[in-house]
C-alpha cells in the first residue's frame, strides 16, 4: 500500500503580504508560496505542489516531480475572484495527487492520475497525453467552464525565473491576459508579479 500524505490548510488570504521576488529553484518548489499553499513533501519520489496567484484573475497550481514542473493547472475567473477566504486540502500517493481548494463560494477540485495521464477537474475527466503538461481551466465561478491543454518545456534546469518558465508557452502567456487594464490598485499589484517579468 503506497504511503498517502494529507495536508489541510485554512486561512484568510492576505494578498498584500505576497513576496514580490519569485524564482524557481532546484529544491523545488522554491516558488515563493502563499502561506496557505499545500506544503511540499520531503520525499524525492513524491509530488510537491504549490498553488499561488499569477495575476488578479489566474491562479496557478504547480505539481513538481524530479527536475521539472510535471503539471501546471491554470485557473481563470473574473478579476479579483481569488481575493477571499480560503480552505485547502491535499493528499497524494505514489501515482496520484488530489487537491481541494475553496476560495469564498468557489470550490476547485483537482485529481491527477500520473499513470493514466488524466486529470479530473471538478469531476470532469481531462486527458493530458504527452507532451502536454499544462491544463487551462477558464470561466471559474460559472457553470460553463472551458478546459484546454497545451505543451511546453517546464524543466527547472538553470533555475529559471517564473516569467521565463511561463514564456515557454504562448498559450499560457495568453491565458494570463497581462494586457488587461485595471484601475484597482491591488489587482494591478498582483498582475505585476508575473506580467512585468513577461514584458522584459
Average pLDDT, the chain: 79
Q: What is the DSSP string of 76-116?
A: EESTTTT-SEEEEEEEE-SSEEEEEEEETTEEEEEEEETTT
- Over residues 105-134, the pLDDT tens digits come to 999 999 999 999 999 999 999 999 999 999
pLDDT band with cut points at 50, 70 and 90 for residue 193: confident
In angstroms, the CA 89 to CA 96 distance is 14
Peptide bond just before 131 cis, omega within 30 deg? yes
pLDDT band with cut points at 50, 70 and 90 for residue 199: confident
**74 or 27: which leads in pLDDT:** 74
pLDDT band with cut points at 50, 70 and 90 for residue 36: very low
- Over residues 57-108, the pLDDT tens digits come to 999 999 998 889 999 999 999 998 988 898 999 999 889 999 999 999 999 9
Q: E strands within 141-180?
A: 146-150
In angstroms, the CA 121 to CA 137 distance is 8
pLDDT band with cut points at 50, 70 and 90 for residue 47: low
pLDDT at 11 over 50: no
In angstroms, the CA 68 to CA 156 distance is 5
Q: What pTM was computed for the model? A: 0.79
Give me the residue spans of the domains in the chain.
5-199
Q: First and final CA of the chain: distance in angstroms?
A: 48
Amino acid at each position: 500500500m503506497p504511503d498517502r500524505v494529507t495536508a489541510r490548510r485554512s486561512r484568510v488570504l492576505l494578498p498584500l503580504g505576497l513576496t514580490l521576488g519569485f524564482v524557481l529553484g532546484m529544491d523545488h518548489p522554491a516558488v515563493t508560496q502563499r502561506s496557505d499553499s499545500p506544503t511540499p513533501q520531503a520525499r524525492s519520489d513524491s509530488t510537491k505542489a504549490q498553488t499561488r496567484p499569477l495575476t488578479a484573475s489566474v491562479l496557478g497550481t504547480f505539481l513538481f516531480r524530479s527536475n521539472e514542473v510535471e503539471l501546471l493547472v491554470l485557473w481563470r475567473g473574473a478579476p479579483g475572484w481569488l481575493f477571499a477566504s480560503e480552505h485547502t486540502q491535499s493528499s497524494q500517493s505514489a501515482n496520484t495527487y488530489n487537491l481541494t481548494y475553496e476560495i469564498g463560494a468557489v470550490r476547485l477540485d483537482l485529481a491527477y492520475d500520473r499513470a493514466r495521464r488524466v486529470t479530473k477537474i471538478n469531476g470532469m475527466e481531462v486527458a493530458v497525453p504527452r507532451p502536454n503538461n499544462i491544463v487551462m481551466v477558464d470561466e471559474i465561478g460559472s457553470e460553463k467552464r472551458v478546459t484546454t491543454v497545451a505543451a511546453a518545456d517546464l524543466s527547472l534546469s538553470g533555475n529559471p525565473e517564473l516569467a521565463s518558465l511561463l514564456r515557454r508557452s504562448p498559450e499560457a502567456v495568453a491565458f494570463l491576459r497581462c494586457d488587461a487594464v485595471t484601475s484597482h490598485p491591488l489587482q494591478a499589484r498582483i498582475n505585476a508579479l508575473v506580467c512585468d517579468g513577461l514584458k522584459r
